[in-house]
A = this chain, B = another copy of it.
Amino acid sequence: MFELDSRLHNDTFFVCDLTLCRVLLMNDSQFPWLILVPRKNDIAEIIDLTEHEQILLLQESATVSKVLQAVFTPFKLNIAALGNVVRQLHVHHVARFEGDVAWPKPVWGNQAAVPYKEESAKLLIAQIKQHLERENAK
């Protein structure tokens, strides 16, 4: 059974499961920030996935990227698989704007998170799910 790393669990909201990955919303209202976690245990690197799974990850990354563009119209997407702190493979997708609190630096480790208000998170998750369904239906 797939087990999500406890730090990822604590720092995010569940959005939905795609074919390979779990989609999470980072609980930081400073950035629209979705994380894809392949639902396989003991995977740290993209190349630890099979070739078929790597292509699924690529496709789901493209879907999530298009959703972030559709909902937030960012200046730039930041996509990254780091894993220095949480080793379980997870791919960040962050919508960046000129003048956001970390701009032009990366978002990791430079400022504390500002959690969403519960109602805002619920609304945002519903909106993202709707766009994911629309994107997947294409």
A2 interface residue per 8 A CB criterion: no
Interface string of A95-128 (1 = CB under 8 A from B): 0100000011110110000000000000000000
Interface size class of A (residues with CB under 8 A): 20 to 34
Which residues in B have their C-beta under 8 angstroms from that of A81? Answer: 77-80
By secondary structure, the A interface counts as mixed
Bound together, the chains give a CA A79 to CA B78 distance in angstroms of 11
Bound Cα distance A66, B81 (Å): 15
- Find chain B residues with CB under 8 A from A71 CB: none
Residues of B within 8 A of A62 (CB): 46-47, 54
- Contact (Cβ within 8 A) B80 A84: no
Q: Is A76 an interface residue (CB 8 A)?
A: yes
